[in-house]
Structure 1
Amino acid sequence: MNTFHGAGVALVTPFKVDGSIDYEGLSNLIEYQIAGGMDYLVSMGTTGEVATLSKKEKLDVLDFTAKQVAGRVPLVAGFGGNNTAELVEQLKEFKNPSYSAILSVSPYYNKPTQEGIYQHYKALALATNLPIILYNVPGRTGSMVSVDTIIRLAKEFSNIIGVKEASANFEHFTRIMEQKPADFMLISGDDALTLPMMSLGAVGVITVVGNAFPRETQQLVKYCNEWKFEEANRIHYKLLRIDELCFIEGNPAGVKEMLQVMGICNRTLRLPLTEVSQVTKDRIALAVKEMASIQA
């Protein structure tokens, strides 16, 4: 699946001040990503505040994104949740031909055993013909997808093609690389760790920071895939401050503030998420200005 050897972006969902979906802002964001060279787009991932969207809103955003992209870059649809039966039905109903794969976060809150996680993903794999990328983010889900479970799924289901890893555990990453099938992909799910993970053999990133800085993120990944780590290192350190500000008061509050400063879409979030503090807004405005001066 060389389609996903590169930089993908987990798109935010722009909202109007009244909380409704801002499709003009989403159009701006999509065009900005494509112009910035992003390799593929992920619609309705967790960064898209999908937990606060209705089923109809999710499908509307997926459809709008597909129409706006019009085949110019590959698309991945986010389908995750902690109700396996409901998620299976959603996947069976999903027929949009514009999407090349599914990204599915491990079940959150329930804290299933490894057998429960395996059975969850098995049910998803059997419910769709689309390739599935697992998503391991224990800091948000409350449970870790173990190496043994990842490898078991990778070996038993041909349409489970990779894992987006945001566990920040390098022993875990190394063991995945050691044991995985040759074509199974390790993908960074943590912008700050993209470079070191790619030095271990990860094929790219599904980024948050790239919403605001797609060109730099894509170039970082490109250099890593070309084993040009000296050049990649320079971009890595340039983006580290941006990464900190993206997450210091929660995701996607930080990156939405950046997008507001850049005039792409506004900062509105849906509760329970709220805007970053004025102190962080000031820091973000300064960082964006400094990045612009570097680019010039």
Structure 2
Amino acid sequence: MSDIARLRGSLVPLVTPFRDGAVDWEGFAGLIEWQIASGSHGLVITGTTGEPSALTFEERVGLYRLAVEVARGRVPIIAGTGTNNFEETVRLSQAAQAAGVDALLVVVPYYVRPSQEGLFRYFKGIAERVDLPIILYNIPGRTAAHLEVDTVARLREACPNIIGIKEANKDFEHINRLLHRMGRDFRVYSGIELLCFPVLAIGGAGYVSATGNVLPDRVARLYDLVAAGRWREAQDLHYELLPLNDALFIETNPVPAKTALGMMGKISPEVRLPLAPMRPENVERLRQVLRAYSLIP
């Protein structure tokens, strides 16, 4: 098993860059180097922000391999391997393990709307077929299913390698109850940008924030300030990041983040269907916000 002590802080859900319709492997490697140099604590590959449903099995595995190769152990690599098909998720998870990743992020299966018993059996079945730490991923707004506290507790008891959960969940009461039930050694990560700081304040282990794609140094610094007990500075930074957080969600993630990275000259802003380029008025709004943060001229 990997060193789970490293799975803390700003775990950036990296975008998958495309150029002329194909994966931009060189651009992807460049983003990893930039993230590490900027102080990000870990990287999530093919999470929601990485457009996993638009990638082939082979592309996803290729991204895991390249991320491990480029990172060279400097930060943990977490592979988003979830799908809505059990056997495909197992195959991706096993391939990610073979590629050398440090942990898996497995989303609640979308579209299917399984029962809590179905979710328990699904995640238990995956955990039994890999030897890596697993972070559950609860994102009710995209999956139309909600992983309840009781089910998470059952999974933790049944599966020692299930070590945490990413909550892309605006129900802050639920997150409080989850930490109270599991204990603060169970790693809870915020997947909602405006809850990154509040989740740290109640004992969370970190966050998986799309904003880290665009402003990785300051997003990582939020965790560093909290870890150092510098709460007032962290609070100030939380509010400083708010306008950018809002701007990066004026259209469906990751379209604004990739548009921003295109404006910054990091990658092409391309997305794959069914996502589409941003509307012109929103591009201009995003441009003004990036200028306010001195990210573009």
Q: TM-score range by the shorter chain?
A: over 0.9
Deviation at 1:123, TM superposition (A): 0.5
Deviation at 1:207, TM superposition (A): 1.4
Structure 2 residue aligned with 1:9:
12
User: Using the alignment, how far apart are the partners of 1:49 and 1:140 within structure 2?
Assistant: 13
How many percent of aligned residue pairs carry the same amino acid?
38
Structure 2 residue aligned with 1:62:
64
Structure 2 residue aligned with 1:257:
259
Structure 1 residue aligned with 2:179:
177
The C-alpha deviation readout for 1:155-204, integer Å capped at 9, x for no partner, is 22110000000111111111111110452111111111101111111111
Aligned to 1:240, which of 236, 242, 246? 242
Structure 1 residue aligned with 2:189:
187
Q: Any idea what SS the aligned residue of 2:22 has?
A: coil
Q: Which amino acid aligns with 1:33?
A: Q
Q: Any idea what SS the aligned residue of 2:243 has?
A: helix
Q: Any idea what SS the aligned residue of 2:275 has?
A: coil
User: Is residue 64–residue 96 contact of structure 2 (8 Å, CA) maintained in 1?
Assistant: no
Structure 1 residue aligned with 2:46:
44
User: Using the alignment, how far apart are the partners of 1:174 and 1:247 within structure 2?
Assistant: 25
The C-alpha deviation readout for 1:114-168, integer Å capped at 9, x for no partner, is 1111111000110101000000000000011001111111222110000000111
Alignment of 1:102-141 (within 5 A): 102-141=104-143
Alignment of 1:270-285 (within 5 A): 270-285=272-287
User: Using the alignment, how far apart are the partners of 2:97 and 2:122 within structure 1?
Assistant: 21
Q: Which amino acid aligns with 2:219?
A: T
Q: Any idea what SS the aligned residue of 1:107 has?
A: coil
Structure 1 residue aligned with 2:230:
228
Matched, 1:25 2:52: no
The C-alpha deviation readout for 1:70-119, integer Å capped at 9, x for no partner, is 22211111100111122223333444353110001111000000111111
User: Using the alignment, how far apart are the partners of 2:98 and 2:294 within structure 1?
Assistant: 37
Q: Which amino acid aligns with 1:132?
A: I
User: Using the alignment, how far apart are the partners of 2:53 and 2:287 within structure 1?
Assistant: 28
TM-score, normalised to structure 2's length? 0.95
Deviation at 1:228, TM superposition (A): 2.1
User: Using the alignment, how far apart are the partners of 1:125 and 1:230 within structure 2?
Assistant: 40
Q: Any idea what SS the aligned residue of 1:133 has?
A: strand
Q: Tell me: CA distance 1:29–1:134, structure 2 relative to 1, closer, same or farther (3 Å).
A: same
User: Is residue 137–residue 144 contact of structure 1 (8 Å, CA) maintained in 2?
Assistant: yes
User: Using the alignment, how far apart are the partners of 1:61 and 1:182 within structure 2?
Assistant: 32
Length, aligned pairs only: 294
Q: Any idea what SS the aligned residue of 1:247 has?
A: coil
RMSD across aligned positions (CA): 1.7
Q: What residue ranges of structure 1 are gaps of 5+ in the alignment?
A: none
User: Is residue 71–residue 98 contact of structure 1 (8 Å, CA) maintained in 2?
Assistant: no
TM-score, normalised to structure 1's length? 0.95
User: Using the alignment, how far apart are the partners of 1:142 and 1:195 within structure 2?
Assistant: 26
User: Using the alignment, how far apart are the partners of 1:28 and 1:276 within structure 2?
Assistant: 24
Structure 2 residue aligned with 1:146:
148
Q: Any idea what SS the aligned residue of 1:195 has?
A: helix
Matched, 1:166 2:194: no
Structure 2 residue aligned with 1:155:
157
User: Using the alignment, how far apart are the partners of 1:119 and 1:125 within structure 2?
Assistant: 10
Structure 1 residue aligned with 2:210:
208
User: Using the alignment, how far apart are the partners of 1:19 and 1:248 within structure 2?
Assistant: 24
User: Using the alignment, how far apart are the partners of 2:207 and 2:99 within structure 1?
Assistant: 24
Structure 1 residue aligned with 2:76:
74
